[in-house]
Structure 1
């Protein structure tokens, strides 16, 4: 019989197999139980599509944060977004074995258990970072049962997530006092900058805050926060992670925390993007944070001198890619008096005269005009529509470039009448500049003077075309928005329009005066809507486009505030503050399609030495593709047509010969005629050179004489006017137009004074002294002018 030892030796393999089998079954049961518990009690991970949202500038600086449904401020953050100093201090102080343990640290857990047995209370929790994340996700009591639940959740976290994912949960959700969660939100709130730029002292401070967020808040308990921070610094020195010198310097740094205040830059843009992308946690914009803050401060300071309830909007666009660098939607966000919650960047407002550059550019592309085409700024009627200039003064004959620079209304309406209002509106809409008309109203001539709605962002995108070879587009606010470009004008037309606008001197500066050449070249245009409701200034350099609007969001007037005096100074302040290169100061060469030609008025054609007598005034003009369009024909068939007249005269008397009328000797005569509306403004010499010779009394009428001339009754030409002796009242003269049957417009020094009918008289008071002109113009095309001298 075998002995007991032999029996045990024989049974040992069987027992080992039974033990292994039982162990495997036990382990399998434990795994099964763990899987069941995992399914029954899933990890309470935060929903990645819910929570607070932060809108950031291009460098990652927060512009505005939006709290989650519970009012918590939490910024999305990754390990790369946080300073390595913070990660070193966090791992070194909180959990040195983080990268190696399975969620719980057995050594720390046994130590904590022993302390609890000896002291009959929990002295230290032995928590790992994973356990802290578990408690953040699922808060519990500090009882033994709570600790057990926390440990199980920690193991569950380690089973489902990587170490990196666990650490990022901590970085984003750790409590930092009040409604702050996450290191990035805490860094901006307490320190005023990103957690990416933490010093040793700041990193240590943020590491210790979650241990007792309320008791250690640096904005309330600076002394306690400093002591806790120094403990972290000492630990880092003891571990040898940071050198003694680094820790010594860090201890010297004081604990200075800002009053908790969420970031609020480009607030209306942030709100706009958050509404458009409500599920995104982090929205990256193209905003330059330093420029944004500077512009916001500049706008606030500028509005101090303007009437109450005035607001402003401003855009700075990078011409390279149409990205927005600064966005000011209102003067002060949240200011109820100024309706600061209304975003005027995308509000529909009257654009005033800001559409005129595109009209002139389109006319250039159509071959209607060149840069010095002769236009006439005089009272005109376009059906029932009779536009006037902003100051109600008229300038007579004027070049296209000067008409655009002076923003004259009558030439612009005349030009739009020839281009076509519907076509002009459709062309702008195709380029991204949409115009809004009242419901049921078709495009009409008033749109060029602001009788339409437009948005600042659309205007800025179109104006950028002047510095982008005629190609504008949709203004972009985020880096991932597609670049949508649209051709606004041909490259040549855009260059000519920009050249015209750049030649407009800054208000208050004469060309070359106090100009060192350091200021950028700016192509600028202003606009003012009817009733002083909107003041605009839009300008562009080679690098940037800047748009400014000032007014009241509720549409009430701002009497006396208009584009040139209200919006333009702010635009130039911003333009001059922008970074620039030599491109901003040096004019570039014209494109191949543009050439400079010497042209002549009144015909508008290129100078021809063989017909020098027809050139009454010379001008240097920019033309497209070598085509020199003549002066536009007159619209009124009752008037003489501007252009070249070929007449036959009696060689002996110089009198004009009509059809069927002859003389012994004749000669042919070419006469360059001005548009009839321009004649009241012509000098006596130009008037003589363009006048027709008198018709020979032997000849029947040839139909070239035009309307009968008016005569001004009430005062003689070249008379001297003086007030009554010993009177402080100005001289008064009663005037009437003889020879008129219809409406007569009266201009004094080019300014529309009044309108009469037929021979109806009116009284004019000479409030000003010196040489003055009085012009009467009938709706039949006839006119009369006298010059007087008014004594003091």
Structure 2
């Protein structure tokens, strides 16, 4: 009889349990928890996934989607040990934790610890309660059971780490790690991880920028708990206490502003947009831009583009000196603006001349006043060097030799070759390409100029550049024969770096547009191309602006701080070499222009004349480490090369430049003399004080 009653009771219990489960299942299906993915910030990320810029959610929160793969495993281990030790064993509720919390409440007459599981906390974050009551707690518990039926433990942790509050409008571990420590959660230190474990419990009372003592005390309790749990040694926990809590909240990254704006326009509604930019290189170039802007003046801006010549990926780009700088029109992306390149296209003229076998590096070419059917180009310094080698003409960026070569090659051929490489020059309406292209008489953007220079870094093969990832190889086209490309690169590798810069194993060219409106410098090694533009976005002239003094120093500084390793320039291909003039065929020893006529009115160079310092000048020089500072020397006229003497003693070797410097050896009268290639001399006497 007793056995029958026991069997009956067992059956009734099973039926009741089955009915209850069916009822809970029906209730669960009727009232499912709100588990739609939370809205997260829009991210612009670099090539390795690092954050470049973000836009907050519509409700103003900094909240990023989190994957456990992107979080330090030690942090996750500490979180579970501190918040919910049996997280991986329970089904949403932890009776043992409830019992412990109740016992502590009775024993201490205050709440010592809570019984909420991580799943219950996720339920509260997903469906915030409006009041603290038993009914609200029971609902939270029911939701936890529902969540456990729908999400895996990994998904529950990821949801929690996306929504957990960390003070202010910071939600989720990634926003907290970036704002409080300036790093991704994958790179958290021990003490940093401990503080972020404790912060969500009382995010406002433990905000480290407002309540550092409370934040550090909470961090220390987490570390102590880890020692008790056997997850770390006492010494390790002590090291986690060494550093103070962060004193301020860091701004989230705001890098590559112009590229990010363009990406957002092109990908509306996407939560994550990837660019090819390298964050380290981008930070380096933006730092260079900020510092250079101070030197350049209040209305002068600058732009930079760094590209991988082989893949075509843009690794860094700076559109202006400051995105929010109204005086510099900072919102305008000057990497895309069409401006006059000055002399920056000359290397491609020389490349075509090399390709055609018209010249070699040591071929002599005339730099004298010439008339090209009414077009009379002048050099930047309004002086002429006479007979020079092709190598010297390109390195000194002489105008007349470049026009001679373009006249021989043909402007139409140059523009056709550039179009074949994906770059079209902007010409005046209804006008054909003319010889003025050699000196900047056409428009081009910085991006396009960098794309052309990839052909010099990449053995003549120009690669289309972009800051958007490509599914396959980017378009590439032959800009120059590989032997001609090497000849040009070899010449540009010998250009003297700007004052104060170290030779970094790069080749580079500068350019200055008519009227001092644009200064350019483009440099390359065997893998990378970096282009710099300096000027005013409104096109106004900037007195004293030049590619060599304004843009080239920025180029060398940016290369140094970009973080990209300098790759060796391409080796000479078979059939390419730097041949001495005596070994050249007779027909290549001197270049004869096919159409240019000497401008007889100015064919003879005037005798040299020292214009600074003037005769009889009394020069006060400041002391630098006990010695007089160098004195700048300047001359006009004469035929290069020039030799300078001070009191009969030579200064340096022969130079083709019309400027030099002299270090006085003391106060008193001194005689300065310059002798040109024709043996003509000029002298001045000065008194150094």
**Which of 517, 524, 531 lines up with 1:540 in the alignment?**
524
- Measured in 1, the distance between the counterparts of 2:53 and 2:564 equals 28
Task: Find out whether 1:66 has 2:45 as its counterpart.
Answer: no
| Structure 1 residue 285 displacement after superposition | 4.5
- Measured in 2, the distance between the counterparts of 1:190 and 1:770 equals 65
Task: Find out whether 1:46 has 2:38 as its counterpart.
Answer: yes
CA contact (8 A) 1:192 1:258 kept: no
Paired residues in the alignment total: 624
- Report the CA distance shift for 1:680/1:452 in structure 2 as closer, same or farther (over 3 A): closer
- Measured in 1, the distance between the counterparts of 2:37 and 2:295 equals 53
Query: What is the match of residue 634 of structure 1?
Result: 594
**Which of 486, 491, 496 lines up with 1:495 in the alignment?**
486
- Measured in 2, the distance between the counterparts of 1:306 and 1:339 equals 15
Q: How does 1:119-158 map to 2 (within 5 A)?
A: 126-141=115-130, 142-158=132-148
**Which of 56, 72, 78 lines up with 1:83 in the alignment?**
72
SS across alignment from 2:530: strand
Higher Cα radius of gyration: 1
Task: Find out whether 1:233 has 2:223 as its counterpart.
Answer: yes
Query: What is the match of residue 512 of structure 2?
Result: 528
Query: What is the match of residue 660 of structure 2?
Result: none
**Which of 395, 398, 413 lines up with 1:405 in the alignment?**
395
- Measured in 2, the distance between the counterparts of 1:411 and 1:32 equals 89
| Structure 1 residue 118 displacement after superposition | 11
Query: What is the match of residue 361 of structure 2?
Result: 371
CA contact (8 A) 2:405 2:593 kept: no
| Structure 1 residue 531 displacement after superposition | 1.6
| Structure 1 residue 161 displacement after superposition | 1.9
- Measured in 2, the distance between the counterparts of 1:264 and 1:22 equals 60
- Measured in 2, the distance between the counterparts of 1:791 and 1:248 equals 74
CA contact (8 A) 2:508 2:524 kept: yes
- Measured in 2, the distance between the counterparts of 1:44 and 1:234 equals 37
CA contact (8 A) 1:53 1:65 kept: yes
| Structure 1 residue 109 displacement after superposition | 4.5
- Report the CA distance shift for 1:561/1:133 in structure 2 as closer, same or farther (over 3 A): same
SS across alignment from 2:241: helix
**Structure 1: gaps (5+ residues):** 510-514, 608-614, 620-629, 640-675, 684-716, 721-727, 729-746, 752-768, 774-784
- Report the CA distance shift for 1:178/1:22 in structure 2 as closer, same or farther (over 3 A): closer
Task: Find out whether 1:590 has 2:582 as its counterpart.
Answer: no
SS across alignment from 2:448: helix
1:325-351 alpha-carbon deviations (Å, 9 max, x no partner): 443322233222222222222222222
- Report the CA distance shift for 1:503/1:106 in structure 2 as closer, same or farther (over 3 A): same
Query: What is the match of residue 464 of structure 1?
Result: 454
1:470-509 alpha-carbon deviations (Å, 9 max, x no partner): 1231334366664423322121111000111122223559
CA contact (8 A) 1:376 1:677 kept: no
| Structure 1 residue 205 displacement after superposition | 0.6
- Measured in 2, the distance between the counterparts of 1:384 and 1:156 equals 87
**Which of 5, 27, 31 lines up with 1:33 in the alignment?**
27
Query: What is the match of residue 272 of structure 1?
Result: 262
CA contact (8 A) 2:304 2:318 kept: yes
* Structure 1 stretch displaced more, 288-297 or 177-186: 288-297
- Measured in 1, the distance between the counterparts of 2:13 and 2:80 equals 41
- Report the CA distance shift for 1:597/1:88 in structure 2 as closer, same or farther (over 3 A): closer
| Structure 1 residue 295 displacement after superposition | 3.5
- Report the CA distance shift for 1:508/1:30 in structure 2 as closer, same or farther (over 3 A): closer
| Structure 1 residue 448 displacement after superposition | 2.9
SS across alignment from 2:194: helix
- Report the CA distance shift for 1:104/1:438 in structure 2 as closer, same or farther (over 3 A): farther
- Measured in 2, the distance between the counterparts of 1:115 and 1:238 equals 19
Q: How does 1:278-297 map to 2 (within 5 A)?
A: 278-297=268-287
| Structure 1 residue 536 displacement after superposition | 0.6
CA contact (8 A) 2:166 2:176 kept: yes
- Measured in 1, the distance between the counterparts of 2:428 and 2:138 equals 70
- Measured in 1, the distance between the counterparts of 2:171 and 2:105 equals 30
Query: What is the match of residue 165 of structure 1?
Result: 155
**Structure 2: gaps (5+ residues):** 610-616, 618-635, 641-671
Query: What is the match of residue 737 of structure 1?
Result: none
TM-score scaled by length of structure 2: 0.79
| Structure 1 residue 206 displacement after superposition | 0.5
| Structure 1 residue 94 displacement after superposition | 0.9
CA contact (8 A) 2:84 2:118 kept: yes
SS across alignment from 1:304: helix
Query: What is the match of residue 646 of structure 2?
Result: none
Query: What is the match of residue 756 of structure 1?
Result: none
SS across alignment from 1:593: coil
Query: What is the match of residue 346 of structure 1?
Result: 336
**Which of 535, 540, 544 lines up with 1:551 in the alignment?**
535
TM-score scaled by length of structure 1: 0.70
Task: Find out whether 1:298 has 2:277 as its counterpart.
Answer: no
CA contact (8 A) 1:396 1:681 kept: no
